[in-house]
Amino acid sequence: MDHFNYKDGELHAEDVPLAEIAAQVGTPFYCYSTATLERHFRLFDEALEGLDHMVCFAVKAASNQAILTFLAGLGAGMDVVSGGEYARARAAGVPGARIVFSGVGKTRAEMRMALEGGVRQVNLESEPEMEVLSAVATEMGVEVPVTVRVNPDVDARTHAKIATGKAENKFGIPISRAREVYAHAARLPGLRVIGIDVHIGSQLTDLEPFRMAYRKVADLTRTLRADGHDITRLDLGGGLGIPYERGNNAPPLPVEYGRMIHQELAGLGCEIEIEPGRLVAGNAGVMVASVIYVKSGEGRDFLILDAAMNDLVRPAMYDAHHDIVPLREPAPGGDMHAYDVVGPVCETGDTFARARPLPPLAAGDMVAFRGAGAYGAVMASEYNSRPLVPEVLVKGDQFAVIRARPSFDEMINRDTIPPWL
């Protein structure tokens, strides 16, 4: 469910017509709904009721300061994977005690930043990394809570580029080596082993891979406790998918996911952390674009938009589907026309959809890409020297620009010409 609906024939974000926002900020732009962000966060929080738990938003999904500040106000923790994301979370008012630092390649500088600013735990991914963290913590005279990310070798049944829990993936340590790796971590000064971390992938549409992974984690918890480790926290990652294509089979609901966690892990008496990003932010955002031209090609028609792959890269990178709808509500049962929906970037890969049935559209019409709130603006670039797309946040009948579109001068002036040129 989201809060982007037609009212009086116009697509609204909550109580604001998207066309009204377009008139002020131009297109393309991203728009987020606070009501949807809140609803989805609370669904996860309620799904774990009865368990000692924390819902940590995956900052990589949508890192705008306004979004992070809003979620922090609801009680969300944050899962970060870089020093920049850590700094964003702290700037949004999130205390270190609610920040989990994940990621496969943390640097010494990033470790020091987290230990100086405070961190709930560091999720370690390799023996070399734990040795470096031990050295940094010892130099600083502190002890840091850590988990070790285990790779359970479970097929997440998702896109290959966002699967993270199979044996060949770069993440974590093989679960078969967990006992020796945990023993090594326990011997290192400055580290306090508190739990287990697992994350098998993103955009999962079936609970069975989660269940298989969590059963392995439960078994490992009992084994590590028998070895003398005080395992009190299980970080289960994120990954629950969203329905990008309306009308198809919907992924499991947070309440179903929570029920499965209760079934598999409640008896261990551990604190549970989950790190949703996509399901919290995905359907909370749309990208709005304008039609520049309608072009007739050989056996197909092209809808050329002012948005491009640099603004929303998911279709080019993952062959991802986004529902595309006009801002003006089409008549029920009206004619449909098949378009290849493309952007202006000089690459064939700058294609959002092929032969997509849409109402007949003309230059100047506007469309919205649904499900664009996660891995949308946060992955945007200035390829082809196209300014970063602006972001807008809506609450009820109010909206605010939370990241402005830079001018060409602002974009160009970030470059520096050396004096010898």
What's 204's DSSP letter? Answer: B
Q: How far apart are CA 150 and CA 213, in angstroms?
A: 10
Nearest to 31 by CA among 2, 71, 69, 59: 2
Question: Is the separation of the CB atoms in 2 and 282 below 8 Å?
Answer: no
DSSP element (H, E) containing 208:
helix 208-226
- The single residue of 31, 56, 270, 346 carrying the catalytic annotation is 346
Across the chain, how many H-helices and E-strands are there? 12, 21
CA separation (Å) from 240 to 70, 205, 210?
21, 7, 9
Contacts of residue 398, Cβ cutoff 8 Å, sequence gap at least 6: 16
Chain-centre distance for alpha carbon 291: 28
56 is catalytic: no
DSSP string, 323-391: -EEESBPPPTT---EEEEEE-SSSSTT-EEEEEEEE----TT-EEEETT-SSSSGGG---GGGPPPPPE
Catalytic residues, by residue number, are: 346
